[in-house]
Amino acid sequence: MKKCFMDYLPEELLEMGIEPKFRVKQLYNWVYRKYVDDFEKMSNLPKDLRAKLKEEFYINPLELVNHEVASDGTEKFLFKLHDNHTVETVLIKMKDERIENGKKKEAKWTVCVSTQVGCKVGCAFCLTAKGGFVRNLSAGEIVAQVWFMKKFKNFDENKALNVVYMGMGEPLDNYDNMVKAIKIIAHPDGLNISPKRQTISTSGIAPKIKRLGEENLGVNLAISLHAVDDKLREELIPLNKAYNIQSVIDAVREFPIDKRKKVMFEYLVIKDVNDDIASAKKLVKLLNGIPSKVNLIYFNPYPGSPYKRPDEETMKKFQRYLLDRGITCTIRESKGIDISAACGQLREKELKSCTPPEFKE
């Protein structure tokens, strides 16, 4: 059975008999910098090596089955995997190309990648949870999402995207494959996207936050908090029963943070659920002493959800309360709201309307 090339670091390829070292570097450059997914087109590799590679490996584990573009430029992709399961990836334009101080600045892009097919966490507000957990993605299936975006948009090989692990799935629940993907994405012979541009978003698996900190990869950390007391958080995020708010905060306090960086706390604001000033007060107390940034996120409604989007005035009051007490706080503008923007929407739509038939509800 063929192996996925994107599952392997250069040193692993050497151990598998792909040598000498400079050939592995050439391979990495062909795949990750020239976006070539056919060994036959790698013209500076010996013919016998190309034949060996073709026999043992395939490169791209993703097949694009749906693509939607929002009016704000956000693009959502649905990919089919080798076993016919599907995952989503989102490409978000954060800033347009512009002129600053007389100099041309490139557009800034963020790619939001999935780490699992489905999810075990079961957040009450998340559509991904409806389908339950199917399986972890391999390192290569995670890496390929970033590679595909660069190839699809024909970005320059040196174009650095921001990568956020906050698509479908809980990244820390697929710990080993996620860490390996981070290393492959960061490798200087490949995509060369620094760990400083990679952000892990977790619902709060406290022991693995600690483990990630001990590895000191240099990545950024984002905590999906969404509530400031355990009762409400258990309702929204059942994982809180195993790892309550205090255990998560304790793990965060030990996490190594670049002095120029902050821990991001994501707070999904739901109308009449967690949008009151009393919650804002508790949040300030909770984050005391942590170099933090709070992202207030509008709940993105989807069909059948019991939750509603908060109004703009309430969001601004909540933000102002935090800002006045010295906490960096932004309101994240909803991206792609006119397409299947919330995690799981595009996949859910596809499962209901197209093949494979065994996935129809």
Nearest-5° Cα angle at 251, 247 to 256: 170
Q: Which of 4, 112, 329, 343 is catalytic?
A: 343
78 a known binding residue?
no
204 a known binding residue?
no
Tokens 């050439």 belong to 26
Tokens coding 150: 């660069």
Tokens 């595009």 belong to 346
224 a known binding residue?
yes
Assess contact for 94 and 106: CB atoms under 8 A: no
170 a known binding residue?
yes
201 a known binding residue?
yes
Q: Distance (Å, rounded) from C-alpha 328 to C-alpha 318?
A: 12
Q: Which of 88, 266, 348, 350 is catalytic?
A: 88
Residue 287's nearest CA partner among 339, 338, 258, 246 is 246
Residue 122's nearest CA partner among 242, 207, 209 is 242
Dihedral of the CA atoms 280, 281, 282, 288 (nearest 10)? Answer: 100
Q: 343 catalytic, yes or no?
A: yes
Measured between alpha carbons, how far is residue 194 from residues 53, 67, 82, 218, 356 in Å?
A: 28, 27, 29, 8, 37
138 a known binding residue?
no
Assess contact for 346 and 75: CB atoms under 8 A: no
Which is it for strands 292-298 and 263-269: parallel, antiparallel or unpaired?
Answer: parallel
User: What residue numbers does the annotated binding site cover?
Assistant: 119, 123, 126, 169-170, 201, 224-226, 300
- Which residues are the active-site residues? 88, 343
User: What residue numbers does the annotated binding site for [4Fe-4S] cluster cover?
Assistant: 119, 123, 126
User: What residue numbers does the annotated binding site for S-adenosyl-L-methionine cover?
Assistant: 169-170, 201, 224-226, 300
